[in-house]
Structure 1
Amino acid sequence: LPGRRIGRSFVWNVLSEILKPDETVVEGFVYCRSCLKVLKYCKGQTSNLVRHPCCKKIKEGQQLKTVTASDKNEAIERCTSWIIEDCRPFSAVQGSGFSKLVKFFIK
């Protein structure tokens, strides 16, 4: 879901507009870049968005870290080294538990 930050409120550190393939905005909705949940939104009103769990975790002035291609490549290299050096099966990094752990560290 591509999107962009809308306003000045800290909620826009985690929420974005929803853009259609033709780059037009889907009116009345935004999405959370952290959990990918879609939320109703009335332009200019963020009071309901502040109650979203992912927004509660973010304090004003704090930004989400953007994971770069370099970060992703380094993570893949480190996982590969861990699997090889510790003789782990590849399935160790394919489960939902591992995915949740990685998402926790990225926050």
Structure 2
Amino acid sequence: MSSETRYSGSVLRIRSYGGSVRVTCSSNVGQGNAGVSLPCCGCWVSPAIGNTEVVKMNIDVAASAILGIDLQRQYISGTSAGGAAQPLFVPIDDLSKLYFYSVDANAIIDLTYLL
């Protein structure tokens, strides 16, 4: 392991640079980093626990009610703590290529990215 460097691609290490962006679906639609290019080497996508409807995600083309994949929702039940839906990892090179749609007009999606 001593031969590893920060960018070796080892499955044992995560790069030490990155950040997070919060996307709000204003008027039912949203785009990663508000449409401004933000190069990366991948990101985790997670809808916020307060969303009331399913969020759909698409790459390079706007998501809609019929286009895109459904993201797992976090939840709270009356008998337990918040549900632990797993964030989705997307190996993508720019956050602005991610598009979101939700019937919930102010749905929130959290993106945590690696540089």
Q: TM-score range by the shorter chain?
A: under 0.3
Larger radius of gyration: 1
More strand, by proportion = 2
Answer 1 or 2: higher relative contact order, Cα 8 Å, separation at least 6: 2
